[in-house]
Structure 1
Amino acid sequence: MTTTETKLTTPAPAAVRTPRPWLRTLGLRSAGVAALLGVWWLVTALEIWPRVLVPTPGDVWDAFLTVAGIRPDENGRTGFSGYTLWQHLGMSLERILLGAGIGTILGIVIGLAIGTIPLVRVLLEPGVTFLRQLPPLAYFSLLVIWFGIDETPKIWLLLIAAMPPVAVATAAAVGGVHRDYVNGARSLGAGRWDVIWWVIVPAALPEILVGIRLGVGVAYTSVVAAETINGVPGIGGMIRDAQRYLQTDVVILGILVLGISGVLLDSCLRWAEHRVGPWRGRA
Structure 2
Amino acid sequence: MAHNGSRRGAYPVLARAGAVLALLALWELLVLAEFWPPVVLPGPGQVWDALLAASDAGNGQGGYAGSTLAERLGVSLRRVGYGTAYGVLVGVALGLVMGLVPPVRAVVEPFVTFLRALPPLAYLSLLVIWFGIDEEPKVYLLVVAAFPPVAVATAAAVTGVNRQYVEAAHALGASRLGVVTTVVLPASAPEILTGVRLAVGVAYSSVVAAETVNGADGIGGMVLNAQRYNQTAVVLLGLVVIGVTGLLIDTAILALQRAVSPWRGRA
Whichever residue aligns with residue 236 of structure 1, its letter is G
- In the TM superposition, what are the counterparts of 1:216-227 in structure 2 within 5 Å? 216-227=200-211
Structure 2 residue matching 1:20: 3-state secondary structure? helix
AA aligned opposite 2:238: G
Q: Which has the higher helix share?
A: 2
| Separation in structure 1 between the aligned mates of residue 124 and residue 57 of structure 2, nearest angstrom | 35
Quick one: which amino acid aligns to residue 48 of structure 2?
A: W
Aligned to 1:95: 79
- 1:165 equivalent in structure 2: 149
Q: In 2, distance between residues paired with 1:259 and 1:80?
A: 19
Q: Which residue of 2 aligns with 1:57?
A: 44
| CA–CA distance in structure 1, aligned partners of residues 7 and 101 of structure 2 | 48
Partner of 1:151: 135
Q: Alignment partner for residue 64 of structure 2, among 52, 74, 80?
A: 80
Query: Can you give the 5+ residue segments of structure 2 that lack an aligned partner in the other structure?
Result: none
Aligned to 1:108: 92
Is 2:193 the partner of 1:209? yes
**Partners of 1:135 and 1:196 in 2: CA distance:** 33
**How many residues are matched?**
265
Corresponding residue for residue 181 of structure 1 = 165
* CA displacement, residues 105-136 of structure 1 (integer Å, 9 cap, x when unaligned): 11000000000012321231111111111111
| Alignment pair present for 1:121 and 2:116 | no
Q: Deviations over 1:37-86 (max 9, x none)?
A: 111101111111111111111111111100011773xxx54511210000
Highest Rg: 1 or 2?
A: 1
Tell me how far apart the structure 1 counterparts of residues 9 and 213 of structure 2 sit (CA, whole Å). Answer: 42
* Counterpart amino acid of residue 21 in structure 2: A
1:46 alignment partner in structure 2: 33
Q: Which amino acid aligns with 1:49?
A: W
Using the size of structure 2 for normalisation, the TM-score is: 0.95
Match of 2:176 among 181, 192, 197: 192
> Is 1:66–1:78's contact at 8 Å kept on the other side of the alignment?
no
SS in 2 for 1:164: helix
Q: TM-score, normalised by structure 1?
A: 0.90
CA contact (8 A) 2:57 2:67 kept: no
8 Å Cα contact 1:170/1:211 also seen in 2? yes
Partner residue in 2 for 1:34: 21
Taking the aligned partners of 1:66 and 1:78, their CA distance within structure 2 comes to 9
1:280 Cα deviation (Å)? Answer: 2.2
Please state if 1:25 is matched with 2:12: yes
Unaligned runs of 5+ in 1: 1-14
Stretches of 4+ aligned residues off by more than 6 angstroms? none
Q: Distance in 1 between matches of 2:36 and 2:91?
A: 45
Q: 1:246 corresponds to which residue? A: 230
**Aligned alpha-carbon RMSD (Å):** 1.6
CA contact (8 A) 1:100 1:219 kept: yes
Query: 2 CA distance for matches of 1:104 and 1:82?
Result: 33
Deviates more, 1:270-279 or 1:109-118: 270-279
Q: Distance in 2 between matches of 1:70 and 1:36?
A: 30
Compute the displacement of 1:242 (Å): 0.3
Give the conservation status (yes or no) of the 8 Å contact 2:57–2:68: no
**Aligned counterparts of 2:16 and 2:241: Cα–Cα separation in 1:** 18
Quote the Cα distance in structure 2 between the aligned partners of 1:24 and 1:53: 35
Match of 2:121 among 137, 161, 170: 137
1:50 counterpart SS class: coil
One-letter code aligned to 1:50: P
Moved more, 87-96 or 113-122: 113-122
